[in-house]
A and B are shown apart, each in its own frame.
Chain A
Amino acid sequence: MNYDLIIIGSGPAGYVAAIRAGQTGLKTLIIDKKYIGGMCLNWGCIPTKSLMESGKVFRQVKQAAEYGVKGIDPEKLEFDWNTAISRTHGIVSKLSRGIEYLWKKNGVEYLKAEAKILSATQVKAGNAIYEAPNILIATGSRIIPQKLFASSVEIEDIYEMPCTALKPLIYGRGSYAIELAQFFAMIDKRPSILAESLPLMPSLDSHLESFLKRKLKKDGIPIIPLEEASIKSGNLYHKDKEIEYDVVINAGFREAVLPPMDIDLEIKNGYIATDDSFETSVKGIYAAGDVNGKGYLAHAASAQAMEVIAAIHGKLPEDGKRLIPLNIYTDPEIAQIGITEDALKAQGAEYEVKQISLNSNGKAIIEGDTEGFIRLIYEPKYHEVLGVQIVAANATDLISEAGVLMELEGTTFDLARTIHAHPTVSEIYMDAGVE
């Protein structure tokens, strides 16, 4: 059976590539051994945000009286884990159907099977061999099993837990660990983070990292650096203090998931090596998403997938580095785009920083979410905005304005000049832009 493109893995790299390939006239087969949507949709981005939302509603309802809503006794509020999980499943299933619909609409064939690459043009799945001049490996990554504790819940299994943990110990670091910890705190559980390494959020500006640590501390979430921890017969100690936990959730380091293959692909540090067009060492075989080790973000994977399809159509890689926002769906949310202050310092570049707090932002006060700020990092000559960092209830949406601005090489003057409606949280952009 012949195709123009065979995609292995249906996460944000694979499914986006499949849709784009179909739209651009490539006869495409996508193969996934488990679920449509990969980790992002099934146990990553989407379900964690769904849980966070339940947590945020739980917390907000507790404060309802402040807003004039009577009849709610915060003491009587209960978090129903199973309902939150089933709501999450509903969301996942809806989105999953959406992807399948888009594949069908664009003529993409889907096969649930484990794929094996036989040659530069052949893939075996089930008992059949499929051929295509182009193969995209989009098999993603997985969390490396932890060896510190006798047992742990893997992220795939969280949504299968029969009830919520009371004192979960989140092992690992990164947005996944942080979000989960904060979720449990929001629903009045007592989570701890056993930080596999620090900083908690690699590639986050250190200013935001310190905000994050302060915030977690304020929420009562202990962060235990691994080197200060000891485990004796299953008991965890931070220095001399015992840390109680009832379940370990493994959110540790990840590794690439390499599909079985009979060909020699260049592997670098465990990841499939690719060039600027995400082509591997074997012509016609591409690798996009986590599996190439160029980042662990769903939207970066999707962007790579789009570029792979463009490359298959003969387009040269784009000039210049793409801007990839980094979002953490904590409460308040944290978002960052562009270069960090640390990187500019390391480069010895000249820059200026302007920070505006949410304290005096009308909309933020109305919504009761004044915890946060915006930081503009710009170069002093033309005031081109080089980086934007936001802490705000809806920072992950607000950051997109910075994305457009920076994509167009905008300046602080452009921000100042752009009229932002009042009252909005986005006014902080305008305020930060004004000299």
Chain B
Amino acid sequence: MRYIFKFPDIGEGLEEGKIIEWYVQKGQAIASGDPLVKMETDKVVTDIPSPKAGVIAITYGGIGDIVKVGSPLVEIDIEGVDGVAAQVVAAEVPAPPSTEAVDEKGFGVVGTIEVAGDGAYLPAGDEGISAAPAPTPRKKALATPVARAMAKDYGVDINLIPGSGPAGRVMKRDIERHADSVRLKEAAAPVAHEVPADTRDDYRYEALSTIRKTIAKNMLRSKQNAAHMSVMDEVEVSELVAARTRLNAVLAKEDIRLSYLPFIIKAVARALKNHPVLNAELDLDNERIIYKNRINLGIAMDAEDGLVVPVIRDADTKSLVQIAQELKSLIDKAQTRQLSLSDLKGGTFSITSFGSIGGYFAVPVINYPQVGIFGIGRLTEKPIVKDKQIVIGQMLPISMSVDHRIVDGGEVTRFLNEVLSYLKDPLLLLAFEGVNHEL
């Protein structure tokens, strides 16, 4: 049976991806979960795993081609299913993926072809995929001499072609069918659309990268859908600075260095536990609020190609050191474009530390459909009044945006106050440490 695997919606507002590298070719046997293709998706370069075991019959698109979500990516012949199933994709073939509209119903098919639903969804993790049993490849296919010779000619592994003859013998017709489907694929191969470089002096045109397009869409979606409200404040963090210095002195032996971010992550995570409405999502369609039981903090990072927001999962349960180590790993991945889909998915609230580059205050854009984003400006020494004396304070500017549709100013302020209290007196974080591990 033929299974058409469409480029799945990975659930992050992704609409298209660019093919970077094919891992499979026609005729190749694959197990469920095997990587099919490396795609530059919304914010990452990631591998798309196969949902099924079988033999690759057709791959759609060449390197550099743009594939829309819902467009066919590969066709897989699934072994062991009735060989009578027709394998002909009739005259209508899908429009080249780089054109604007993709008619997903455009398959004229004869016989049974299972098509991944339009709502096909690629799980974030690979748990479900790797659980699928690996197929046992036939050792040596029962095949006729002519079928063997033909398979050799076509460069096809005959052991992977389902046979329609007696006892599953691979016949000439099976190879012919296979060849037909390959020819169809070649006929349907999309042509890469290159945007010609403009030579006029006044302007320079550059096609948007996939990441930039996604960022643009996501930002607009956020601004159009959420009722942004921002609040700004400053907190004096001398104790935090001192605590960090002391901790780093100890941790230096372990070759671990804490930035301020792990403290902020812990503080935000802790406060979210007490203010669950900020760790939620508005489900207007069903007139309800979805409260998220896990606190997965998306950390905005400035990667070479654009903004990425990998996620620290269950941040409330992790130690500073654990968070620091995870952060380091995510930063490394972001810089080398090695982030996986699972690194990016499932965030429930976001933190942006734009101050590490510069700036005191900002109006961060909510990572929609999350409720809020917590922004940190540049830590600066400022004169402050303490005990009626002007002293040098370590001032950390805070900018936070929330979706006013879900949460009101009072609750936001209470949340902010709690976060700031932890930053002001990091020892408080310790007071609430429950399931955490070391230090």
Contact = CB atoms under 8 A, between A and B. Distances in A.
Contacts of B172: 384, 409
B371 to A, nearest CB: 58
Interface in B155-174: 164-165, 169, 171-173
A236 to B, nearest CB: 51
B147 interface: yes
B357 interface: no
B84 A411 contact: no
Interface in A316-375: 316, 319-320
B416 to A, nearest CB: 71
B149 A319 contact: no
A3 interface: no
A320 B171 CA distance: 10
B150 A382 contact: yes
B384 interface: no
Query: How extensive is the interface on chain B, given as a class?
Result: 10 to 19
Interface in A382-427: 382, 384, 408-411, 413-414
A319 B144 contact: no
Nearest to B152: A382
B146 A319 contact: no
Given A319-B164, A320-B173, A384-B172, A409 B84 contact: no
A411 B146 CA distance: 7
Contact of A410 (B84, B144, B169, B171): B144
Contacts of A409: 144-147, 171-172
Contact of A413 (B145, B147, B150, B165): B145
Query: How extensive is the interface on chain A, given as a class?
Result: 10 to 19
A410 B164 contact: no
B206 to A, nearest CB: 51
B145 A319 contact: no
Contacts of A408: 144-145, 169
A411 B149 contact: yes
Contacts of B173: 319-320
Interface in A81-133: none
Contact of B145 (A316, A320, A411): A411
Contacts of A384: 145-146, 172
A319 B84 contact: yes
A382 B145 CA distance: 9
Interface string B124-155: 00000000000000000000111101100000
A414 B145 contact: yes
Interface string A256-282: 000000000000000000000000000
A411 B169 CA distance: 16
A410 B164 CA distance: 17
A410 B165 CA distance: 14
B141 to A, nearest CB: 13
A131 to B, nearest CB: 33
Contacts of B84: 316, 319
A319 B83 CA distance: 10
Nearest to A411: B145
Contacts of A319: 83-84, 164-165, 171, 173
B153 to A, nearest CB: 8
Given A319-B165, A382-B149, A384-B146, 18 more contacts: A319-B84, A319-B164, A319-B171, A382-B145, A382-B150, A384-B145, A384-B172, A408-B144, A408-B169, A409-B144, A409-B146, A409-B147, A409-B171, A410-B145, A410-B146, A411-B149, A413-B145, A414-B145
21 contacts: A319-B83, A319-B173, A320-B171, A320-B173, A382-B145, A382-B146, A382-B150, A384-B145, A384-B172, A408-B144, A408-B169, A409-B144, A409-B145, A409-B146, A409-B147, A410-B144, A411-B145, A411-B146, A411-B149, A413-B145, A414-B145
Q: Which 9 A-B pairs have the closest CB atoms?
A: A409-B144, A409-B146, A384-B146, A382-B149, A382-B146, A411-B145, A408-B144, A319-B164, A409-B172
